[in-house]
Amino acid sequence: MLSKKTISILLKIGIVAFALYFLFEQFNSRQSTSFRSLDILDKINSNYITIIVVIFMMFMNWFLEALKWKFLINKIEEISIMTSIRAVFSGITVSTFTPNRIGEYAGRVFCLEKGDRIKAVLITIIGSMSQLFNTIFFGFIGFIFLPNFIVEASQFFIGYKYLYLLFIVIIILLNILLLVLFLNTKYLSILFYKINWLKKYHEYIAVFSLYSKLDLLKILLISFFRYFIFTLQFYILLKLFDVEVTYLNAIVLIMCMLFIVSLIPTIAITEIGVRGSVAIFLFGLISTNTTGIITATFLLWIINLLIPALLGTFFIFTLKFFRK
């Protein structure tokens, strides 16, 4: 019978092997073909400072995520910022081969020394909810302006201006509802406790009541800065690859793109294809530079996910699957 130490080592090797395989498959996908052309590589070489800036923004982005997770997880275990960074990058690596990145939760909680892992997963979900809130909130705003980019839709709403007004009012009300629901997650504990078969799990459900409105507002703010950094990264890369688009137009389309992508179930091996297809559809409304759009999308994936996932493989070997 294998010892816990042997099982732990085999699990870590397996995670790294799976992650590297799925990342390799995505890197060699059809969507990456144009990226490897000499013209694209020359443009990257000649604009290396821009690429360095975008990479620096990636580290800022994940550092903010580490700050957010540290703030959240400190309710059940005090951890250092370095432990949080290690947890975040480990989570990225594990998420590469799981549907909709759900493996990210497991990658993080195994960095904890004493904290309850089920509670940690639920707490991590709160952090993910804050990021999803920003995606949906700004996605709704993006859809208010999207008809301006679609001739048929624009003509339709001009003819039915009251319908367009109703559309805007509904979106505003939905955003207000989302904000109220997120800032009152503590009521989830009360709601779940009233369900008989969930009462025995009250110890875990109680984590939703650990955070005040101010705590949740802080989490939303950090998530917003992450969202802003990502949109700015994408805009910089679009301009780098000669996609003619103003900043405001780009932001509207990026907000819509992130919203749509968040709704589509994916696994790692198909994710870059989904992102590329949605980006081509939306930015194709204002630009014919398909190569530039897909290249910017693919390079953003390399910088924001491939590089962090590769870095995370080193942290995988520090995970603690079994406690003494």
What is the DSSP-derived secondary structure letter of residue 74? T
Confidence of residue 23 (pLDDT cuts 50, 70, 90): confident
Confidence of residue 20 (pLDDT cuts 50, 70, 90): confident
Query: Of 78, 174, 97, 87, nearest to 127 (Cα)?
Result: 87
- Say which range, 64-78, 218-232, 258-272, 273-287, has the weakest mean pLDDT: 258-272
Which is more confidently placed, 200 or 127? 127
- Which residues are within 8 A (CB) of 314 and not within 5 positions of it... i.e. 6 or more apart? none
Which is more confidently placed, 278 or 266? 278
Asked whether the predicted pLDDT for residue 241 surpasses 70, the reply is: yes
Return the axis-axis angle of helices 117-145 and 48-73, rounded to nearest 10°.
Answer: 130
Highest-pLDDT range among 83-87, 297-301, 319-323: 83-87
Q: Where are the alpha helices (DSSP H) in the chain?
A: 4-27, 38-46, 48-73, 81-95, 103-109, 117-145, 151-159, 161-183, 186-193, 202-205, 213-240, 247-263, 268-283, 290-301, 307-316
Please state whether the predicted TM-score (pTM) of the whole model is above 0.75: yes
Report percent pLDDT > 90 for the chain.
29
Asked whether the predicted pLDDT for residue 147 surpasses 90, the reply is: no
Per-residue model confidence (pLDDT) at position 225:
96
How is residue 74 written in tokens?
């400190």
Task: Label residues 145-170 b or e (16+ Cβ within 10 Å = b).
Answer: ebbebeeeeeeebeeeeeebeeeeee
